[in-house]
Amino acid sequence: MSSPDMSKAMVEFLHLLATEIESNQALGRRLARPFQEYLQQQMEPKPAPVRKKSAPVTAIPDNFDPFLIYHDQGSVGLYAALQDFDAAQCKEVLRHFALDPSRSYSRWRKQERLANFIVERIKAMSDKGKVFMD
């Protein structure tokens, strides 16, 4: 196709085709159909990409402080306070108060297990360093 003779032949063919299309409108409409379909497809608005919905943010009450509850009421009081929370809220408590930086709780689904883990972590953090107090 790169030879000069072929290039001249292609140019001559396209000029003859353009002349024929100008004189014969029916032929022009038939040849224009694929181009019109292509242009319509290009002009149609593209649908927005579907994004995954992020998990709804669960909030814990503003005045909830597990350290204060543990100090005032002990582990039983803290466990009782956590009974009102669902699993997502318990995970939010763990995240908000940085009770487990390794996020080992992230796959747990049961509220009871998460509540027990919160009580254990609060107790461990509250008792940390008490051996040196005496």
Q: How far is it, in rounded angstroms, from Cα 43 to Cα 82? A: 56
Tally of CB atoms within 10 A around 58: 14
Given this model, what pLDDT does residue 2 score? 58
Q: How far is it, in rounded angstroms, from Cα 89 to Cα 104? A: 16
Residue 1 has pLDDT above 90, yes or no: no
Average pLDDT of the residues in 94-121: 94
Residues 55, 58, 60: CA angle, nearest 5 degrees: 160
Model pLDDT for residues 32-69, shown as the tens digit of each residue: 888 788 878 888 887 878 887 776 777 888 899 999 99
Which range (5-9, 83-87, 103-107) has the least confidence? 5-9
The first and second tokens of residue 74, run together, are 């002990």
Q: How far is it, in rounded angstroms, from Cα 86 to Cα 114? A: 9
Task: Give the DSSP letter of residue 62.
Answer: T
Given this model, what pLDDT does residue 134 score? 65
The first and second tokens of residue 23, run together, are 């004189």
Average pLDDT of the residues in 61-78: 93
Given this model, what pLDDT does residue 116 score? 96
| Residue carrying the six token digits 């319509």 | 40
Question: Which ranges of 2-130 does DSSP label H, i.e. alpha helix?
Answer: 4-23, 25-43, 66-82, 87-96, 111-127
